Structure 1
């Protein structure tokens, strides 16, 4: 089933609907502020008519007070708008952060196949563009449009000719946006895409900093950055041309408003169809309309930034996640019996399936070693058994129950994995092992540390289990990082252990000790391991050989 394409406009409307009560309040205040702003020209008109009498009157004093209070009231309305907008901005940031934190662990692995997740996570920074632009979108734009409409309506009261003139000007504004806004959004999206390409390349250089240091006199980092930056500048220039076009059109609008109304107003005064007070009031209204047009011009870039940011966030939010239905427990027996029934696994960019109709049964306390050449499908078997990916065809059964969305999380909680994809994350050592699961007994944590050989390392750390670990375990050795991942897989005393080269680069003596412990018949788990280490052969009761996605033998 094809995915439904959501436009940037639809994303904007959806976002505003989440805070529709606050948005309505902002619009109400904008309407009131627009109406109150008209008291200034009307009040000045009346004041001019009064002071022409060359006397200080009570009416004049009252009008001055009312106009001043009107300005103060308008300021109070704007202050309330700013407070509401701040609340909306905070909600946008909060929702966006939780959306990303919730979705990333649940996005289907098939969706991420052609993406680099850390680079996708950078889309979160577009939330800041939405926060910055939403104030202009909800305050400046509505206020400017209302002031233009109210101003032209007020002018129409002075003479019927202003009605036709106002309709003409509103039509011009509509035409300006109608025929340029789509192109403006397209160029803004292209500019953003090029911007992220530059950011991703800089991130890659930083990630592979040692490789670039050791590359000698090569200037590949600069050459590619030059190429990508040139692409960004071209895209930005194309977007700027649209902004310039809209700016020119809006300037033309200002010229028509200014020239037309000055000429019309002057002729009406000369023909004694308007008095001086009305003429001055009309000019003040003209200034308000021109100021509003300038707000629209200046705010266009922010408008495009918001729509573009929503589109970039949508690239992550639109990714299909695993169904999050009510979690049903599998038959929670003492042991797991896992069966792969005629499993085929394919990916779009490969003609032949990675796994082709394999069937496999993992019995309680099995010790299984999977071997095969590179590309045989060994890792894919582990990912399927772990519930990390879904088979293209066939089914996986656990204790006779088909593994599906309703019981997937429960199954994963009973499986311990140490895969190549797993690394330490930024957090304390304890968090890295337990994922902050406070239900895990301290005895199990100490046991996992002892089994993996981390106990003496933790004792040497000043902060023990509270020691901070950098992303991917940057400040610790490769083997310690592997031990942390292995301890993570053991700490919940799983029913099934799925391991990929778990003891790679370990000292021989320590590797033998851990290997003996994991494969001992008294251990309660089933074990499935992929490794080229021949020492596993004598310790595993079953050896499965894979080639070209098929099982050659199951000894």
Structure 2
């Protein structure tokens, strides 16, 4: 899928994330509240060090030392408890998210307008399920790691800005540089991450087709074609990966350079303030402890943004499944046809015109152009909606029925649809509560009993 012509930025990314992760936001909000408390309490260590230095310098007594150490221990134990709770909340989120998305995919597949995805060559849509795992792992990493870094950095910058006007200007410049680095490469990173994800799924789609028709490639000519196609999808993926890496690597290097220059500048300029008598040693040590954590967090932003771009790309892939066209809601729940009389009046669909009537119990043979039988079956099962015309069953408009009840009452023999279940389970779908004896009688009626008896697992043989 080509994304070169699409406009992809943070607005589109926010829309994908809201659609995929939005229903589970209460878990994330609670984890963020814990993160806010942890970030505030994380200042206990540098502030304690500042108080300790001032206390020892002024009193030289052990009592304040032990009191300060005890308070610090209690605060850090509280931080540990909040961190454990946040970890537990994220585990709950992963389980909830998995269950919800699997249910959503199942519902959208069952209620899709076209029941045969292979007819439109879209069976690969369900490979997007594996992007669910990426979201599962990326969200906790960003909430626990990335969000904590941002909070601790924000709190640390606010605290140190009150130490001296120099720190206020220094912190403001630091924030502007971080924003500039992020804005400079973020849009290109998102766009290239989405393109990379599409290249990954294109490769998976091709490999699935090879696995499904591997016998076709067991000749030198066909083998060469398979290898050439694999080379092509591999080259496309590598090209997309190279483009994405160009953005993400440049952004990561910029954050690392900012970390190095900011750390050196803080030490040099802070020491100069001490020499001029405008800053105490305790304040400088506390500022170094706080801002060194901020600088280290900045050096890690490249990795967390890389995780964020993967998250956005996976959310975009899952949104393709969520965008599968759905059937219209049933018009009259519980309503079924009065009889089996079928009438099509002026029905037009895909350049075909259907206009005939079949009485209940009537049997007839028709000759039609190729594909007409398929269109008729799709119309009768309401898998396709005619462009115009009227379809009635039992004298009632087909559109007014509960379509799921209608499909249970009316059988249209058009093509086999075999699901991955055992023979016993498949037969039970046609007659709930049927016993093995009844199943064997049905198989005997169609001449399959002896064939099934020769299978190693009999009725428990898996269909494919």
Query: TM-score, length-normalised on structure 2?
Result: 0.90
Equivalent position to 1:282, from 279, 287, 299: 287
Shift of 1:48: 2.3
The aligned residue for residue 67 of structure 2 is 62
Shift of 1:190: 0.5
CA offset digits 1:156-197 (Å, max 9, x no partner):
121122222222222222233334322211101100111111
Equivalent position to 1:130, from 130, 135, 147: 135
Q: Secondary structure at the match of 2:402?
A: helix
- CA distance, structure 1, for counterparts of residue 439 and residue 382 of structure 2: 24
The aligned residue for residue 454 of structure 1 is 448
**What is the root-mean-square deviation of aligned Cα atoms in Å?**
2.5
Is 1:271–2:271 an aligned residue pair? no
Change (3 A) 1:458 1:112: closer
Shift of 1:124: 0.5
Shift of 1:114: 7.2
Equivalent position to 2:380, from 359, 382, 385: 385
CA offset digits 1:5-39 (Å, max 9, x no partner):
99331231344432232222111111111111111
Equivalent position to 1:419, from 401, 411, 414: 414
Q: 97-106 vs 257-266, which deviates more?
A: 257-266
- CA distance, structure 1, for counterparts of residue 57 and residue 430 of structure 2: 79
CA offset digits 1:58-100 (Å, max 9, x no partner):
1111112222333333222221111111111111111111111
- CA distance, structure 2, for counterparts of residue 451 and residue 203 of structure 1: 37
Q: 44-53 vs 112-121, which deviates more?
A: 112-121
Is the 8 Å Cα contact of residues 341 and 358 (structure 2) preserved in structure 1?
yes
Is 1:159–2:164 an aligned residue pair? yes
Query: TM-score, length-normalised on structure 1?
Result: 0.76
CA offset digits 1:271-312 (Å, max 9, x no partner):
122222221111111221022213322111110111111110
Q: Secondary structure at the match of 1:340?
A: strand
Change (3 A) 1:17 1:216: closer
Shift of 1:315: 0.7
- CA distance, structure 2, for counterparts of residue 63 and residue 128 of structure 1: 45
- CA distance, structure 2, for counterparts of residue 172 and residue 86 of structure 1: 35
- CA distance, structure 2, for counterparts of residue 419 and residue 62 of structure 1: 83
Equivalent position to 1:368, from 364, 369, 389: 364
Q: Secondary structure at the match of 2:344?
A: strand
Q: Secondary structure at the match of 2:223?
A: coil
Shift of 1:381: 1.8
Is 1:435–2:439 an aligned residue pair? no
Change (3 A) 1:109 1:202: same
Equivalent position to 1:78, from 77, 80, 83: 83
Structure possessing the higher relative contact order (Cα contacts under 8 Å, 6 or more residues apart): 2
Q: Which runs of 5+ in 1 are unaligned?
A: 347-352, 472-555
Is the 8 Å Cα contact of residues 331 and 399 (structure 2) preserved in structure 1?
no
Shift of 1:103: 1.3
Change (3 A) 1:58 1:437: farther
Change (3 A) 1:162 1:326: farther
Shift of 1:442: 6.8
- CA distance, structure 2, for counterparts of residue 395 and residue 410 of structure 1: 20
Equivalent position to 2:53, from 12, 26, 48: 48
Is the 8 Å Cα contact of residues 20 and 319 (structure 2) preserved in structure 1?
no
The aligned residue for residue 230 of structure 1 is 235
**Counting helix residues as a fraction of each chain, which structure ranks higher?**
2
1:204-223 to structure 2, matched below 5 A, reads 204-214=209-219, 218-223=223-228
Is the 8 Å Cα contact of residues 386 and 417 (structure 1) preserved in structure 2?
yes
CA offset digits 1:424-444 (Å, max 9, x no partner):
222111222333863567776
Change (3 A) 1:319 1:217: closer
Is the 8 Å Cα contact of residues 192 and 240 (structure 2) preserved in structure 1?
yes
The aligned residue for residue 518 of structure 1 is none
- CA distance, structure 2, for counterparts of residue 180 and residue 111 of structure 1: 41
Q: Secondary structure at the match of 1:339?
A: strand
